[in-house]
Structure 1
């Protein structure tokens, strides 16, 4: 193998007498470098877009959420609350109640989620701290609500509008004969005191109110909730916390992390990432056809040298390894150069924000070692396969 590696390096770094071979080899090298650079940059861009997209949902979603296995609500006892408070891995937790209901304002109506939250919600969720577009966060034990910017626009609803009531209608439980509106709905007037703004979809999703008010409208008991949202302390073992939570709730409730709470979004982002990776891998495969052609032409050009080596006792396997190693080395060197160029482009975009989506928002890119390993592994593997195909042309019949 050392003999084959020595010859392969000589062939790789020395020019051929046939200028056409030098040109094809140069084209193959450029194709490997550009393909590697493009694949790394695109994966870094999609990593940035992934983090950028998830940053919106993370404002709504807690690190962990406890939800009922069956139905829309469950009961949490004071003992379970104390056990949650005593868990060292939990920074805070908040009891929530949410349900789709009907909102009415000035002749316009909107069906969306009413979400009741307790006083700990501001410690568990960053929404109330960082994303209030106008106004303030609601006060406990009041009829105050915080609405999304999308809901505000659809209903033409502003803050502290006392001329037109902002009303909520919640279907009542029971199977009795409905003879009036009061029999069909629990109804109350709300006071909008804040508007949050995050993204187009999320801004039309929730109206936040006090937990006790939501329980009253939904005819819940004081210890009946739709979920418990939990914020973890930094660098804790999520799996270990989930096991402890399952023990507290006796496996009667389901515990979901952020990825499970947004399974559809995560699946869509992962599918897009895989699709882009496969498309650019196909581009690299096409570029590697140049490598196969260059190596085959090199085999034919060095045919007399190979005959000499064969007559001196070299085995066909060793002669094949010369071109296998030559192509693999070319792929490795081209991959390293392409990765270096791609890393430089990504870092420049991160630092100087040369490409902008809007006047204030730069195109998001994220440098990760995972992408480095994926790209380098891809180019080396495909380069090895291409070299293996080309080196298979070295046969005893060729040398006869």
Structure 2
């Protein structure tokens, strides 16, 4: 242990001559702690939102979606599916098609999406579950309704409804309104967003009753977790050709991720500015400590301790104040985050718990920012020591 470091420890921990000096040192530690707590907590919340966004896309979207680049084209044969299913990285492939519909019920119009899926869909989307209320099929489109829409359909569960949708006349682009009967066969559970927005039916019923063709519009794919989606997409593009539009789940996440990353950068700049402002408390604390210990400094200088080593005493004190403030703020932020993550105390509109996630990257970034700013302020607070010692002769 160097003499400068030993003396700085004694100056920092031992009681000062003036009680005001103790108060100023405490306030400087408190201000750095509050800055650290605020910065780390907000970054943990942003990371929580990012994690929530990833979970949202994992639940609502397949790993890979394949369709024709021209959105009006349909898959006609199973040759493409055979080529895709032969790829070992793929777990399941589902054929899907959907169409906008609307219907009347109790003087209200409801606009929804009717989606036709095959039996592989439940393998592709693990959160999707169908439950049959009856085994009998009616002479109509047998649909599955969302569990959150059960109240809406409860009174008509045993009677057919009529849905309306737009179609095109043969060999023309003239749209006309068609209607079809539907009967409720069961219900599905996916997520609150999908439950209230979609109706599901078997793909072959959609083909036979809606489009009158054995075609489908989209292939939805589930791949193994250890497969890199970006590399796998390029592999599929080479295998299938440019006429297909291939979208990964990560690409759907990118827009939200960019927004969150931009917010993170803004938060960094904002709190660096706030920390610099609160750093004036650190500057004041070091300067007042220098005034409080001016006689001891002059004695140390007369005993042969160099000006550089005397400066290092207060540089170490500045680092101690910064470290104590940083660690105290970070520990409180960590405890607060753990409590929120476990007990969900703070909620959005009393329903959705504030998402929060503690990450090593955010933790290290916060600690580095605070320590670097504290070191810079501590270094610039040493410039007056020369004059203070010489004037005290």
TM-score bracket for the superposition, by shorter chain length: 0.7 to 0.9
Report the counterpart of residue 299 of structure 1 in structure 2. Answer: 290
Q: How many angstroms apart in 2 are the aligned matches of 1:303 and 1:136?
A: 90
Preserved CA contact (<8 Å) 2:147 2:187: no
Q: How many angstroms apart in 1 are the aligned matches of 2:228 and 2:378?
A: 45
Report the counterpart of residue 114 of structure 1 in structure 2. Answer: 114
Cα shift readout 1:284-341 (whole Å, capped 9, x = no counterpart) = 444333112212222333445555666747355x555443443233222332233233
Any unmatched runs of 5+ in structure 1? none
Report the counterpart of residue 167 of structure 1 in structure 2. Answer: 163
Q: Report the Cα offset of residue 270 of structure 1.
A: 4.6
Q: Report the Cα offset of residue 376 of structure 1.
A: 1.6
Report the counterpart of residue 205 of structure 1 in structure 2. Answer: 197
Preserved CA contact (<8 Å) 1:29 1:330: yes
Q: Report the Cα offset of residue 241 of structure 1.
A: 2.3
Structure 2 residue corresponding to 1:377, chosen from 368, 377, 381: 368
Q: How many angstroms apart in 2 are the aligned matches of 1:124 and 1:138?
A: 27
Matches within 5 A, 1:123-272: 123-129=123-129, 143-148=141-146, 156-158=152-154, 161-163=157-159, 165-172=161-168, 176=172, 184-192=176-184, 193-194=186-187, 196=189, 198-199=191-192, 201-215=193-207, 219=211, 222-225=214-217, 227-270=218-261
Q: How many angstroms apart in 2 are the aligned matches of 1:204 and 1:330?
A: 55
Q: Specify the SS of the correspondent of 2:116.
A: strand
Q: How many angstroms apart in 1 are the aligned matches of 2:132 and 2:348?
A: 25
Preserved CA contact (<8 Å) 1:114 1:208: yes
Report the counterpart of residue 27 of structure 1 in structure 2. Answer: 27
Change (3 A) 1:145 1:288: farther
TM-score norm. by structure 1 comes to 0.77
Q: How many angstroms apart in 2 are the aligned matches of 1:136 and 1:198?
A: 23
Q: How many angstroms apart in 2 are the aligned matches of 1:177 and 1:245?
A: 33
Q: Specify the SS of the correspondent of 2:381.
A: helix
Q: Specify the SS of the correspondent of 2:335.
A: helix
Preserved CA contact (<8 Å) 1:28 1:291: yes
Q: Report the Cα offset of residue 117 of structure 1.
A: 1.6
Q: How many residues align?
A: 388
